[in-house]
Structure 1
Amino acid sequence: MTFCIVYYSPEGHTKALAEAIAAGGDATLFDVTTLTEADWTILDNAGAIVMGAPTYMGGLPSVFTAFIEKAAARWEHGLWRDKLAGGFSTALHPAGDKLNALMSMFVFAAQMGMVWIGATETGAPVVPENEGINTDGSWVGVTASVSSKDGELLKEGDLETGHRYGARMRQSLDRWEKGAIP
Protein backbone atom coordinates (compact mmCIF):
# COMPACT_ATOMS: atom_id res chain seq x y z
CA MET A 1 0.00 0.00 0.00
CA THR A 2 1.18 3.49 -0.79
CA PHE A 3 2.32 5.76 2.05
CA CYS A 4 2.06 9.43 1.07
CA ILE A 5 3.24 12.57 2.81
CA VAL A 6 1.64 15.90 1.91
CA TYR A 7 3.38 18.99 3.22
CA TYR A 8 3.80 22.74 2.93
CA SER A 9 7.27 24.17 3.57
CA PRO A 10 7.99 27.77 2.61
CA GLU A 11 11.31 27.89 4.49
CA GLY A 12 12.48 24.27 4.04
CA HIS A 13 12.11 23.20 7.70
CA THR A 14 8.91 21.22 7.23
CA LYS A 15 10.27 19.66 4.02
CA ALA A 16 13.34 18.45 5.95
CA LEU A 17 11.08 16.72 8.48
CA ALA A 18 8.90 15.32 5.67
CA GLU A 19 12.00 13.85 4.04
CA ALA A 20 13.09 12.23 7.32
CA ILE A 21 9.64 10.67 7.78
CA ALA A 22 9.63 9.51 4.15
CA ALA A 23 13.07 7.92 4.53
CA GLY A 24 11.91 6.02 7.61
CA GLY A 25 8.78 4.70 5.95
CA ASP A 26 9.50 4.52 2.23
CA ALA A 27 6.90 7.20 1.54
CA THR A 28 6.18 9.41 -1.45
CA LEU A 29 6.33 13.18 -0.91
CA PHE A 30 3.83 15.70 -2.25
CA ASP A 31 4.18 19.47 -1.89
CA VAL A 32 0.64 20.85 -1.53
CA THR A 33 1.55 23.84 -3.72
CA THR A 34 2.22 21.65 -6.77
CA LEU A 35 -0.44 18.90 -6.60
CA THR A 36 -1.65 17.69 -9.99
CA GLU A 37 -4.78 15.68 -10.75
CA ALA A 38 -2.55 12.60 -11.02
CA ASP A 39 -1.22 13.36 -7.51
CA TRP A 40 -4.77 13.59 -6.15
CA THR A 41 -5.50 10.18 -7.67
CA ILE A 42 -2.45 8.73 -5.92
CA LEU A 43 -3.62 10.26 -2.61
CA ASP A 44 -7.14 8.89 -3.15
CA ASN A 45 -5.67 5.40 -3.59
CA ALA A 46 -3.06 5.60 -0.81
CA GLY A 47 -3.20 3.44 2.30
CA ALA A 48 -1.73 6.17 4.52
CA ILE A 49 -1.54 9.95 4.31
CA VAL A 50 0.63 11.92 6.71
CA MET A 51 0.20 15.69 6.67
CA GLY A 52 2.77 18.33 7.59
CA ALA A 53 2.89 22.09 7.83
CA PRO A 54 4.65 24.75 9.85
CA THR A 55 2.73 26.28 12.71
CA TYR A 56 1.93 29.94 12.08
CA MET A 57 0.55 31.99 14.96
CA GLY A 58 -0.70 28.81 16.65
CA GLY A 59 -2.43 27.35 13.62
CA LEU A 60 -2.05 26.05 10.10
CA PRO A 61 -0.93 28.37 7.29
CA SER A 62 -3.60 29.35 4.76
CA VAL A 63 -1.88 27.38 1.97
CA PHE A 64 -2.24 24.15 3.94
CA THR A 65 -5.80 25.02 4.94
CA ALA A 66 -6.58 25.40 1.22
CA PHE A 67 -5.27 21.84 0.70
CA ILE A 68 -7.57 20.59 3.48
CA GLU A 69 -10.54 22.39 1.93
CA LYS A 70 -9.87 20.80 -1.47
CA ALA A 71 -9.32 17.36 0.09
CA ALA A 72 -12.60 17.68 1.99
CA ALA A 73 -14.44 17.26 -1.32
CA ARG A 74 -13.57 13.57 -0.97
CA TRP A 75 -15.64 13.28 2.24
CA GLU A 76 -19.00 12.86 0.48
CA HIS A 77 -17.81 9.73 -1.32
CA GLY A 78 -15.70 8.37 1.54
CA LEU A 79 -12.57 8.34 -0.60
CA TRP A 80 -10.22 8.74 2.37
CA ARG A 81 -12.25 6.66 4.84
CA ASP A 82 -10.19 4.04 6.72
CA LYS A 83 -6.86 5.35 5.45
CA LEU A 84 -4.17 5.67 8.10
CA ALA A 85 -3.35 9.28 8.92
CA GLY A 86 -0.81 11.24 10.90
CA GLY A 87 0.71 14.66 11.18
CA PHE A 88 3.77 16.74 11.88
CA SER A 89 4.58 20.39 12.37
CA THR A 90 7.56 22.68 12.77
CA ALA A 91 7.93 26.03 14.49
CA LEU A 92 10.60 28.45 15.59
CA HIS A 93 10.14 27.81 19.30
CA PRO A 94 10.16 24.49 21.19
CA ALA A 95 6.51 24.86 22.19
CA GLY A 96 5.43 27.14 19.39
CA ASP A 97 1.80 26.05 19.82
CA LYS A 98 2.39 23.15 17.40
CA LEU A 99 -0.18 21.03 19.22
CA ASN A 100 -2.94 23.27 17.90
CA ALA A 101 -1.76 22.76 14.30
CA LEU A 102 -1.62 18.99 14.87
CA MET A 103 -5.11 19.00 16.38
CA SER A 104 -6.44 20.75 13.26
CA MET A 105 -4.97 17.96 11.13
CA PHE A 106 -6.33 15.33 13.55
CA VAL A 107 -9.87 16.74 13.46
CA PHE A 108 -9.75 16.89 9.65
CA ALA A 109 -8.60 13.25 9.51
CA ALA A 110 -11.32 12.19 11.96
CA GLN A 111 -13.99 13.93 9.92
CA MET A 112 -12.70 12.17 6.81
CA GLY A 113 -13.03 8.82 8.63
CA MET A 114 -9.28 8.24 8.74
CA VAL A 115 -7.46 6.31 11.47
CA TRP A 116 -4.84 8.46 13.25
CA ILE A 117 -1.43 7.05 14.14
CA GLY A 118 0.42 9.10 16.73
CA ALA A 119 4.08 9.23 17.68
CA THR A 120 5.44 6.82 20.30
CA GLU A 121 9.09 7.75 20.77
CA THR A 122 10.05 8.82 24.29
CA GLY A 123 13.25 10.76 24.78
CA ALA A 124 15.56 11.59 27.63
CA PRO A 125 15.41 11.91 30.57
CA VAL A 126 12.73 9.16 30.66
CA VAL A 127 14.75 7.01 28.24
CA PRO A 128 18.33 8.26 28.72
CA GLU A 129 19.67 6.57 25.58
CA ASN A 130 17.17 8.55 23.48
CA GLU A 131 18.89 11.90 23.99
CA GLY A 132 17.46 14.39 21.47
CA ILE A 133 14.46 12.23 20.53
CA ASN A 134 11.00 13.82 20.80
CA THR A 135 12.37 16.79 22.72
CA ASP A 136 9.00 18.56 22.47
CA GLY A 137 7.25 15.60 24.13
CA SER A 138 4.58 15.32 21.42
CA TRP A 139 2.59 12.12 20.96
CA VAL A 140 -0.28 13.39 18.80
CA GLY A 141 2.20 13.77 15.96
CA VAL A 142 5.82 14.66 15.30
CA THR A 143 7.02 18.15 16.09
CA ALA A 144 10.33 19.87 15.50
CA SER A 145 11.88 23.19 16.36
CA VAL A 146 14.09 25.23 14.07
CA SER A 147 17.77 24.59 14.79
CA SER A 148 20.02 27.34 16.06
CA LYS A 149 23.11 25.80 14.41
CA ASP A 150 24.44 27.43 11.26
CA GLY A 151 23.33 25.62 8.11
CA GLU A 152 21.12 23.13 9.95
CA LEU A 153 17.36 23.40 9.37
CA LEU A 154 16.29 21.07 12.19
CA LYS A 155 18.04 19.35 15.07
CA GLU A 156 19.37 15.86 14.33
CA GLY A 157 17.23 14.39 17.13
CA ASP A 158 14.07 15.85 15.61
CA LEU A 159 14.98 14.41 12.21
CA GLU A 160 15.64 11.02 13.83
CA THR A 161 12.27 11.25 15.60
CA GLY A 162 10.69 11.82 12.18
CA HIS A 163 12.59 8.87 10.71
CA ARG A 164 11.34 6.60 13.50
CA TYR A 165 7.79 7.89 13.00
CA GLY A 166 7.99 7.05 9.29
CA ALA A 167 9.05 3.50 10.21
CA ARG A 168 6.13 3.27 12.67
CA MET A 169 3.67 4.42 10.01
CA ARG A 170 5.05 1.91 7.49
CA GLN A 171 4.77 -0.92 10.06
CA SER A 172 1.22 0.17 10.91
CA LEU A 173 0.29 0.28 7.23
CA ASP A 174 1.74 -3.19 6.65
CA ARG A 175 -0.26 -4.58 9.59
CA TRP A 176 -3.39 -2.72 8.42
CA GLU A 177 -3.05 -4.22 4.96
CA LYS A 178 -2.75 -7.74 6.41
CA GLY A 179 -5.69 -7.20 8.75
CA ALA A 180 -3.39 -7.74 11.72
CA ILE A 181 -4.06 -4.54 13.67
CA PRO A 182 -4.46 -5.57 17.33
Structure 2
Amino acid sequence: MICVLYYSDTGHTRALAEAVVDGIGADGIGAARLVDVARIGAEDWAALDAAPAIVFGAPTYMGSTAARFDLILEEAANRWDTGRWANKIAAGFTVAVHPSGDKMNALVRLAVFAAQMGMIWVGQSEIGAPVKPGRAGINRDGSWLGLMATEPVSDGDLETARVFGARVAGASARWSVGA
Protein backbone atom coordinates (compact mmCIF):
# COMPACT_ATOMS: atom_id res chain seq x y z
CA MET A 1 0.00 0.00 0.00
CA ILE A 2 1.42 3.37 -1.04
CA CYS A 3 1.32 6.06 1.63
CA VAL A 4 0.57 9.71 0.95
CA LEU A 5 2.06 11.62 3.88
CA TYR A 6 0.72 15.17 3.93
CA TYR A 7 0.02 18.25 5.98
CA SER A 8 -2.82 20.62 5.16
CA ASP A 9 -3.78 23.74 7.05
CA THR A 10 -6.37 25.19 4.67
CA GLY A 11 -7.54 22.06 2.82
CA HIS A 12 -5.75 22.66 -0.50
CA THR A 13 -2.97 20.17 0.20
CA ARG A 14 -5.51 17.61 1.39
CA ALA A 15 -7.48 18.01 -1.86
CA LEU A 16 -4.31 17.28 -3.82
CA ALA A 17 -3.47 14.33 -1.53
CA GLU A 18 -6.92 12.83 -2.12
CA ALA A 19 -6.52 13.24 -5.89
CA VAL A 20 -3.10 11.55 -5.75
CA VAL A 21 -4.74 8.66 -3.86
CA ASP A 22 -7.45 8.46 -6.55
CA GLY A 23 -4.71 8.20 -9.17
CA ILE A 24 -2.86 5.52 -7.26
CA GLY A 25 -6.04 3.45 -7.19
CA ALA A 26 -6.91 4.10 -10.85
CA ASP A 27 -7.28 1.02 -13.03
CA GLY A 28 -6.42 -1.22 -10.09
CA ILE A 29 -2.80 -0.02 -10.18
CA GLY A 30 -2.42 0.14 -6.44
CA ALA A 31 -3.89 0.86 -3.05
CA ALA A 32 -3.14 3.96 -1.03
CA ARG A 33 -3.38 5.28 2.49
CA LEU A 34 -3.62 8.93 3.47
CA VAL A 35 -1.41 9.81 6.45
CA ASP A 36 -2.14 13.23 7.93
CA VAL A 37 0.89 14.44 9.90
CA ALA A 38 -1.45 16.27 12.29
CA ARG A 39 -2.87 12.91 13.42
CA ILE A 40 -0.02 10.46 12.80
CA GLY A 41 0.09 7.45 15.08
CA ALA A 42 1.91 4.15 15.52
CA GLU A 43 -0.20 2.40 12.87
CA ASP A 44 0.64 5.16 10.40
CA TRP A 45 4.37 4.83 11.10
CA ALA A 46 4.10 1.06 10.57
CA ALA A 47 2.30 1.67 7.26
CA LEU A 48 4.98 4.14 6.14
CA ASP A 49 7.72 1.67 7.03
CA ALA A 50 5.99 -1.12 5.08
CA ALA A 51 4.99 0.99 2.05
CA PRO A 52 6.82 0.43 -1.24
CA ALA A 53 6.33 4.13 -2.00
CA ILE A 54 5.71 7.35 -0.09
CA VAL A 55 4.34 10.53 -1.63
CA PHE A 56 5.13 13.63 0.44
CA GLY A 57 2.77 16.61 0.32
CA ALA A 58 3.04 19.92 2.10
CA PRO A 59 2.09 23.52 1.50
CA THR A 60 4.87 25.95 0.74
CA TYR A 61 5.18 28.55 3.48
CA MET A 62 7.86 31.23 3.29
CA GLY A 63 9.89 29.37 0.67
CA SER A 64 9.89 25.83 2.04
CA THR A 65 7.61 23.10 3.34
CA ALA A 66 5.46 23.95 6.34
CA ALA A 67 7.25 23.62 9.69
CA ARG A 68 4.60 21.17 10.98
CA PHE A 69 5.45 18.85 8.09
CA ASP A 70 9.18 19.28 8.65
CA LEU A 71 8.82 17.98 12.21
CA ILE A 72 7.56 14.67 10.82
CA LEU A 73 10.46 14.47 8.37
CA GLU A 74 12.85 15.03 11.27
CA GLU A 75 11.14 12.22 13.18
CA ALA A 76 11.29 9.95 10.12
CA ALA A 77 15.01 10.63 9.81
CA ASN A 78 15.62 8.15 12.63
CA ARG A 79 15.14 5.51 9.92
CA TRP A 80 18.17 6.82 7.99
CA ASP A 81 20.97 4.88 9.65
CA THR A 82 19.10 1.58 9.32
CA GLY A 83 18.14 2.21 5.69
CA ARG A 84 14.54 1.39 6.54
CA TRP A 85 13.22 3.63 3.75
CA ALA A 86 16.03 2.94 1.26
CA ASN A 87 14.90 1.89 -2.22
CA LYS A 88 11.30 2.98 -1.66
CA ILE A 89 9.78 5.09 -4.39
CA ALA A 90 9.34 8.72 -3.33
CA ALA A 91 7.55 11.67 -4.88
CA GLY A 92 6.26 15.01 -3.69
CA PHE A 93 3.80 17.81 -4.17
CA THR A 94 3.20 21.28 -2.86
CA VAL A 95 0.75 24.16 -3.12
CA ALA A 96 1.09 27.88 -2.45
CA VAL A 97 -0.93 31.07 -2.82
CA HIS A 98 1.26 32.52 -5.57
CA PRO A 99 2.10 30.95 -8.95
CA SER A 100 5.79 30.93 -8.03
CA GLY A 101 5.59 31.14 -4.27
CA ASP A 102 9.05 29.55 -4.14
CA LYS A 103 7.39 26.14 -4.50
CA MET A 104 10.48 24.73 -6.22
CA ASN A 105 12.37 25.14 -2.95
CA ALA A 106 9.74 23.03 -1.19
CA LEU A 107 10.05 20.27 -3.81
CA VAL A 108 13.84 20.39 -3.62
CA ARG A 109 13.57 20.02 0.17
CA LEU A 110 11.44 16.89 -0.28
CA ALA A 111 13.67 15.42 -3.00
CA VAL A 112 16.83 15.98 -0.94
CA PHE A 113 15.18 14.36 2.09
CA ALA A 114 14.24 11.35 -0.08
CA ALA A 115 17.76 11.15 -1.51
CA GLN A 116 19.27 11.21 1.96
CA MET A 117 16.96 8.38 2.95
CA GLY A 118 18.11 6.37 -0.10
CA MET A 119 14.72 6.61 -1.80
CA ILE A 120 14.12 6.68 -5.58
CA TRP A 121 12.51 9.97 -6.66
CA VAL A 122 9.74 10.11 -9.28
CA GLY A 123 9.03 13.44 -10.91
CA GLN A 124 5.93 14.78 -12.61
CA SER A 125 5.60 14.13 -16.36
CA GLU A 126 2.41 15.80 -17.57
CA ILE A 127 2.62 18.39 -20.34
CA GLY A 128 -0.21 20.89 -20.56
CA ALA A 129 -0.95 24.13 -22.33
CA PRO A 130 0.53 26.05 -24.05
CA VAL A 131 2.66 23.18 -25.41
CA LYS A 132 -0.43 20.99 -25.71
CA PRO A 133 -3.31 23.49 -26.09
CA GLY A 134 -5.99 20.83 -25.59
CA ARG A 135 -4.73 20.18 -22.06
CA ALA A 136 -5.47 23.51 -20.43
CA GLY A 137 -4.97 23.42 -16.67
CA ILE A 138 -2.73 20.35 -16.69
CA ASN A 139 0.58 21.05 -14.94
CA ARG A 140 -0.27 24.75 -15.10
CA ASP A 141 2.75 25.62 -12.94
CA GLY A 142 5.11 23.78 -15.30
CA SER A 143 6.87 21.71 -12.65
CA TRP A 144 8.80 18.53 -13.41
CA LEU A 145 10.52 17.78 -10.09
CA GLY A 146 7.15 17.11 -8.51
CA LEU A 147 3.57 18.32 -8.53
CA MET A 148 2.93 22.01 -7.93
CA ALA A 149 -0.41 23.73 -7.58
CA THR A 150 -1.57 27.27 -6.94
CA GLU A 151 -4.42 28.20 -4.60
CA PRO A 152 -7.22 27.89 -5.20
CA VAL A 153 -6.59 24.37 -6.46
CA SER A 154 -8.16 24.03 -9.92
CA ASP A 155 -9.78 21.07 -11.64
CA GLY A 156 -6.64 20.88 -13.80
CA ASP A 157 -4.46 20.69 -10.67
CA LEU A 158 -6.61 17.85 -9.34
CA GLU A 159 -6.42 16.00 -12.66
CA THR A 160 -2.64 16.49 -12.73
CA ALA A 161 -2.53 15.07 -9.18
CA ARG A 162 -4.55 12.01 -10.22
CA VAL A 163 -2.23 11.32 -13.15
CA PHE A 164 0.77 11.93 -10.88
CA GLY A 165 -0.59 9.34 -8.42
CA ALA A 166 -0.97 6.82 -11.24
CA ARG A 167 2.61 7.54 -12.33
CA VAL A 168 3.91 6.90 -8.80
CA ALA A 169 1.90 3.67 -8.57
CA GLY A 170 3.25 2.51 -11.93
CA ALA A 171 6.83 3.30 -10.93
CA SER A 172 6.34 1.49 -7.64
CA ALA A 173 4.98 -1.58 -9.40
CA ARG A 174 7.88 -1.62 -11.89
CA TRP A 175 10.51 -1.02 -9.22
CA SER A 176 9.09 -3.78 -7.02
CA VAL A 177 9.23 -6.47 -9.73
CA GLY A 178 11.51 -9.25 -8.58
CA ALA A 179 12.20 -7.56 -5.25
TM-score (norm 1): 0.93
In the other structure, the counterpart of 1:77 is 82
RMSD: 1.1
In the other structure, the counterpart of 2:72 is 67
Q: Which structure 2 residue ranges, 5 or more long, are not aligned?
A: 26-31
Matching residue's letter, 2:47: I
Residue 174 of structure 1 pairs with residue 179 of structure 2:
no
Aligned to 1:77, the other structure's residue is in SS state coil
Aligned to 2:74, the other structure's residue is in SS state helix
Worse-superposed segment, 85-94 or 171-180: 171-180
In the other structure, the counterpart of 1:90 is 95
Aligned to 1:55, the other structure's residue is in SS state strand
Deviations 1:140-180 (A, max 9, x none): 00011112xxxxxx100000000000010111111112149
Segments of 4+ moved more than 6 angstroms: none
In the other structure, the counterpart of 1:132 is 137
TM-score (norm 2): 0.94
In the other structure, the counterpart of 1:42 is 47
Selected match of 1:115 from 106, 115, 120: 120
In the other structure, the counterpart of 2:23 is 24
Matching residue's letter, 1:160: E
Aligned to 2:171, the other structure's residue is in SS state helix
Residue 106 of structure 1 pairs with residue 111 of structure 2:
yes
Matching residue's letter, 2:20: I
d(CA) in 1 for partners of 2:102, 2:67: 16
d(CA) in 2 for partners of 1:175, 1:128: 31
**How many residues are treated as equivalent by the alignment?**
173
* 1:121 positional shift: 0.2
Matching residue's letter, 1:49: I
d(CA) in 2 for partners of 1:93, 1:136: 10
